[in-house]
Amino acid sequence: MKVVMLEKNRDGSLVPIDEREWTHEMLESLHHVNYCVLGSQEYQTLEGRLNLDLERMELLVVKMLHED
């Protein structure tokens, strides 16, 4: 299934940051994880929706800020 990750910015805007086919195993893992890593950046998963019109899953995430 095609999954589009949308980053929610502080101003509320949504920015697509990734779009790719996910395997069944990757989709199933969403039941068990709250965070994902993309391009060495960690994101918290907020919610997902199934967009039947576009035949894809849209995953809403926010960037995690780490203090060093």
Average pLDDT, the chain: 94
Tens digits of residue pLDDT in 36-68: 999 999 999 999 999 999 999 999 999 998 765
pLDDT band at 35 (very low <50, low <70, confident <90, very high): very high
57 by Cβ neighbours in 10 Å (0-12 / 13-18 / 19+) ranks as middle
Domain ranges in the chain?
2-63
Distance from C-alpha of 1 to C-alpha of 57, rounded to nearest angstrom: 7
**Is the per-residue pLDDT at 13 higher than 70?**
yes
Tokens found for residue 14 = 């949504």
